[in-house]
Amino acid sequence: MNFLLINFFLISLLLVTTFFIFKTTSLISIVALTGAFTLLCSAIYVNLDAVDVAFTEAAVGSGISTILMVMAAAKLPEGKKNKLINLFPSIILAVAISLILIIIIANLPLLGDPNAPIHLHVVPEYLKESKDFFHIPNVVTNILASYRGFDTLGETIVIFTAGLGVIALLTSNTLNRKTNFKKNKKNER
Amino acid sequence: MSNFIYFWNHFAFILLMVGGLFIIITSQNYLKKVVGLAIFQTAVFVFFVSLAKVLDGTAPILTKMANAYSNPLPHVLILTAIVVGVATSALGLALVLQIYKNYETIEEKEIESLELKSDK
C-alpha cells in the first residue's frame, strides 16, 4: 500500500511539472523544469523496481540532456510571450486521442497484477536461464547483452548517426537561400 | 476508489502524452517544441515501466531472498529508448541552433512572416 501511495504522489508531481512547462515562456525555466521532470521520472522508476532504467535516466536523461539544453538555451534569445497557435485543431486532436486511449486502457490489467499476460510468456524462461545457464544475477544486463545484443548494436548505430547529424548541422556554413536573405536584411539596415 | 489508485499510472500516461502533443502543436518557441517531444517520449517510458511492475516483487536481480521479480523485458526496451530519445533531442537542438543562425529568431510566426517577405 505504501508503494501505491508514493507512486500516486510522484506521478501527480510529474503532471504538475508538465503543466508548468506548458505555462512558462522563459527558456531557462523550461530547461530547469525539464531537469526536475527527468529527476522525478528516475524516482518513479526506482519505486517501480526498474533500477537499471533509473540509473540510465539519471545519468543520460537528467544529466546529459539537461547539459545540452542549457548549452542551447545560452545561445538562444529569451522566449517571447506569444499567444498559442493552432489552438482549435489541437484541442480536437487531444480530445480524440484521449478518448481512444481511455477505451484501450479500460481493458488493461491493473498495476502490479502478477497474472497479466506480459509476465507469463517469455520472461519466466529468461529468469530461469539467467540463473542456471548464464550465471549472471542481473537479468536486465543479461537480456541487453546476450539475448538482444543486435538490438543494442542497432541502438549504437542510431546514436552514431545522430552524432554525425549534429556535427554536420553545427559546422555547416553553406550559403543557402535563407542565409542570402539574412545578408539582404543586414544590407537594408 | 481503491481501483482508481491502481489505474492512476494509466490515466497519467494519457494526460502526459496528450500534454506533450499539445505543447508540440500549440507553442511557437522551437526549444519548447523539443521539450514537448521529450515529454511525449517520457509518457511512453513511464507507461511501459508501470506495466512491468509486479506487486510484492523486487528489482530483477537474482537473490536467494526474493521469490517474485518484476518483468525485465520492458526495462531493456526502455533502456534502449531513453538513449535514443536523448540522441533525438540533441539533433533537434542542433536544428534549432541552425534555424537561429539563419533567421535570428526561433518563434514560428516570425519566421513565417520573414519567409513571406523574402518571397516578394
Task: Going from the first residue of chain A to its last (189 residues), give the mean pLDDT of each consecutive group of 10, the final group possibly shorter.
Answer: 90 95 92 95 94 94 93 90 87 95 90 89 89 90 90 93 93 63 59
The whole-number pLDDT of residue B16 equals: 95
The whole-number pLDDT of residue B6 equals: 87
Q: If you ran DSSP here, which 8-state letter would residue A138 be given?
A: B
State whether residue B27 sits within 8 Å of chain A by CB: yes
Backbone phi, then psi, for B76, in 5-degree steps?
-65, -45
Q: Which residue has the cell 540522441?
A: B87
State whether residue B21 sits within 8 Å of chain A by CB: yes
Euclidean distance between CA atoms B115 and A140, whole angstroms: 50
The whole-number pLDDT of residue B86 equals: 94
Residues spanned by the domain of B9: 2-119
Euclidean distance between CA atoms A45 and A129, whole angstroms: 25
Interface of A with B in 16-35 (CB under 8 A): 18-19, 21-22, 25, 27, 30, 34
pLDDT tens-place string over residues B58-102:
999 998 888 889 999 999 999 999 999 999 999 999 999 988 888
Q: Among B5, B75, B108, whose Cβ lies nearest the Cβ of A140?
A: B75
Scored b (16 or more CB within 10 A) or e, B1-25 reads eeeeebebbbbbbbbbbbbbbbbbb
The whole-number pLDDT of residue B71 equals: 92
Tell me the sheet residues that pair with B107: B29
B68 interaction partners in chain A (CB closer than 8 Å)? 114
By CA distance, what is A46's nearest residue in B? B59
The whole-number pLDDT of residue A189 equals: 53
Euclidean distance between CA atoms B14 and A99, whole angstroms: 9
**CB within 8 Å: A169 and B59:** no
Euclidean distance between CA atoms B20 and B35, whole angstroms: 8
Q: Among A37, A116, A182, whose Cβ lies nearest the Cβ of B102?
A: A182
Euclidean distance between CA atoms A72 and B92, whole angstroms: 10
**CB within 8 Å: B71 and A169:** no
Residue whose C-alpha is closest to residue B102's, from B91, B111, B93: B111
Euclidean distance between CA atoms A176 and A89, whole angstroms: 33
A99 interaction partners in chain B (CB closer than 8 Å)? none
Helices (H), chain A: 2-23, 27-47, 51-56, 65-75, 87-105, 123-129, 139-142, 149-171, 177-188
ipTM, 2 dp: 0.92
Residue whose C-alpha is closest to residue A138's, from B63, B6, B110: B63
Residue B60 contacts residue B77 (beta carbons within 8 Å)? no
Q: Among B12, B53, B61, whose Cβ lies nearest the Cβ of A11?
A: B12
A63 interaction partners in chain B (CB closer than 8 Å)? none
- The residues near B118 (Cβ < 8 Å, ≥ 6 apart) are A177, A181, A184
What's the total number of domains in chain B?
A: 1
Q: Is the pLDDT of residue B20 over 70?
A: yes
Residue B32 contacts residue A80 (beta carbons within 8 Å)? no
Which of B17, B21, B25 would best serve as a mutation to test chain A binding (most A beta carbons within 10 A)? B25
State whether residue A8 sits within 8 Å of chain B by CB: yes
State whether residue B111 sits within 8 Å of chain A by CB: no
Q: What CATH number is attached to the domain comprising B45?
A: 1.10.287.3510
Which of B48, B84, B86 would best serve as a mutation to test chain A binding (most A beta carbons within 10 A)? B86
How many CB atoms lie under 10 A from the CB of residue A108? 13
State whether residue A66 sits within 8 Å of chain B by CB: no
More confident residue, A185 or B34: B34
Percent share of chain B, pLDDT over 70: 98
CA atoms within 13 A on the CB side of B94: 17
